[in-house]
Amino acid sequence: MFPVPHKFDQACPQTGCSLLHCPFDHSGVVPSRRKRNRVNETNHDILRQDRTVKAVKVVKEPKGSKLIPRQVYPNAPETIPQRLNYLRQLENHYRSKGHGTESSVEKAIETEFEIATSCSTKIAYNNKIKTLLYNLVKFGNEHGKPSQARNTHDMASLDDWLDRLFSVCIPRKRLERHGYPMQIPEAEKEDSSFLPSEPKAPGLKSCLRCNEEFMRSTQMKETTCCYHPGKQEVLKQAENSAASNDYNSRVFSCCNQTVGEARGCKVLKHHVFKHSTMKDMHEELPFVELPEHTSNSKALKAVGLDCEMGFTSCGFECIKISIVDYVTEKTILDKLVKPKGEIIDLNTHVSDVAEIPEDSLDLQQIQSLLREIFDSETVVVGHGLENDFNCLRLLPTQRIVDTAILYSESSLVRRKDSLKKLAWKYLSLNIQSGTHDSVEDCVIPIQIVKNRLGKRNSN
């Protein structure tokens, strides 16, 4: 072997040199510096390429197995770690639905990339992808609409629904405690078993808004009725207060004024009242009974019911009624009702009824329609249905499912949870943000009942 110069540790070909271009001429003469450098560069390139090829072969993985978010140009709406977190959630969901590992990864990457490219801000991106994840978990699809199988909880027929509904129907004695009209009152008897009695003075009423007493004969004369349309809310003391767990004040939600110190923030020209006994209701507008159930009856087996009420010269009357089918949740009836008395306040901020046409059906015509839609054996589902049956002057059916009674946290008559609270608790839905939709108020109790019955059946 020939001696090797400093920084040039290549062996001679005679001793097994494997280089393509040997820098030696086998005569013991060291090659020139220029030739040596050129040959070194060539050999190093060959070695570098060989190492690169070997490294690629070692780390190569199957296509689609890497869960890495795709690059978004010019800028991504969210950081890589947060996008990767959403990718993992999407991939876990798709894999749980039966997708293979590679297909679930590819689908998650493509879905997240479409959302990232369609959103230009961080807030929009987070809102859109969180909505997608919610729909996938809640409804099983990306559109957020419940599928037919989810609506029916895989039930085979209406009989399955009825068997479950019958198990949660409320006993009649319990309905009576909650103010349901269980029988038509007799005129000659004093009715003191249902609701508190009215003032003894004939024609003397107490305004439901401002609590001022007035004679009913003077109700339609213009006056000043100041009241708060909002509800009372309790405010806590400041967190740094020594008694931070105690309540220190109550305010009205409509204007944030303190209860007891503030005058009404809204003014009406007339006082309003509401009949407080079954007898007075019956004398104003008579109650009617539903027809008995027969084998050839065309009445529906189960429905959802909701009414909107307004104030008139005859008290608290029905101004709109909605009925939906329990199984399909399709609207059967949605009509305005012409009240008997002169309209004072339609509660437009709640009922969303601004006016009632003259050709609308009156209460007697609505009662005739209801007697065709359901009979005494029909299951009626709703929230706070005692108010609906009272304003409809209709005795309830034998089977009532009231979500306000069944699913409120408190069992007290006067402390029932609102439908808005139950919808958020059981369905994660925010409803009644403004005015009430009577059709929606029919469907939501049905969905709550289906949700609870499905949970109980699975347990």
Question: Is position 54 within any domain?
Answer: yes
Query: CA–CA separation, 74 vs 60, rounded Å?
Result: 29
pLDDT at 142 over 90: no
**Structure-model confidence comparison of residues 165 and 389, the more confident one:** 389
Spatial CB neighbours of 396, under 8 Å, sequence gap ≥ 6? 175, 180, 181, 182, 380, 385, 389
Question: Is position 88 within any domain?
Answer: yes
Domain count of the fold of the chain: 4
Asked if residue 255 and residue 304 are part of one domain, the reply reads no
User: What confidence score (pLDDT) does residue 260 get?
Assistant: 76
Asked if residue 165 and residue 141 are part of one domain, the reply reads no
Half-sphere exposure of 15 (CA within 13 A, CB side): 7
User: What confidence score (pLDDT) does residue 65 get?
Assistant: 59
Q: Which of 274, 308, 323 is a domain's end point?
A: 274
Asked if residue 217 and residue 170 are part of one domain, the reply reads no
pLDDT at 194 over 80: no
Spatial CB neighbours of 395, under 8 Å, sequence gap ≥ 6? 181, 182, 183, 184, 287, 288, 289, 290, 389
Highest mean pLDDT among 20-34, 116-130, 328-342: 328-342
| pLDDT grade for 413, boundaries at 50, 70 and 90 | low
Asked if residue 405 and residue 323 are part of one domain, the reply reads yes
pLDDT tens per residue, range 229-286: 887 777 655 455 444 444 457 788 778 888 877 778 888 899 999 988 889 999 999 9
Asked if residue 256 and residue 173 are part of one domain, the reply reads no
Helices 158-168, 438-458: inter-axial angle, 10-degree rounding: 90
Question: Is position 26 within any domain?
Answer: yes
Asked if residue 365 and residue 233 are part of one domain, the reply reads no
Question: Is position 64 within any domain?
Answer: no
Q: Are 351 and 306 in contact (CB under 8 A)?
A: no
Query: CA–CA separation, 437 vs 431, rounded Å?
Result: 9
368: domain CATH number is 3.30.420.10
User: What confidence score (pLDDT) does residue 343 get?
Assistant: 93
pLDDT tens per residue, range 79-116: 999 999 999 998 888 888 766 677 888 888 989 999 99
Question: Is position 40 within any domain?
Answer: yes
Query: CA–CA separation, 54 vs 87, rounded Å?
Result: 31
Q: Is 123 left (phi over 0), alpha (psi -120 to 50) or beta?
A: alpha
How many Cβ atoms from other residues are within 10 Å of residue 226's Cβ?
A: 14
Asked if residue 443 and residue 308 are part of one domain, the reply reads yes
User: What confidence score (pLDDT) does residue 146 get?
Assistant: 55
Q: Choose among 154, 170, 169: nearest CA to 457.
A: 154
Question: Is position 451 within any domain?
Answer: yes
Question: Is position 22 within any domain?
Answer: yes
Asked if residue 435 and residue 361 are part of one domain, the reply reads yes
Q: Which of 213, 246, 274 is a domain's end point?
A: 274
Q: Are 133 and 90 in contact (CB under 8 A)?
A: yes
Asked if residue 262 and residue 170 are part of one domain, the reply reads no
Mean pLDDT of the chain: 78
How many Cβ atoms from other residues are within 10 Å of residue 103's Cβ?
A: 13
Asked if residue 305 and residue 246 are part of one domain, the reply reads no
Interval 35-51 mean pLDDT: 51
The least confident of 302-311, 376-385, 405-414 is 405-414
Asked if residue 428 and residue 298 are part of one domain, the reply reads yes
Q: Is 432 left (phi over 0), alpha (psi -120 to 50) or beta?
A: left
245: domain CATH number is 4.10.1130
User: What confidence score (pLDDT) does residue 228 get?
Assistant: 86
The least confident of 95-109, 237-251, 319-333, 363-377 is 237-251
Asked if residue 381 and residue 425 are part of one domain, the reply reads yes
Question: Is position 378 within any domain?
Answer: yes
Whole-number percent of the chain with pLDDT over 70: 73
In which domain, by residue range, is 346 found?
158-178+293-458
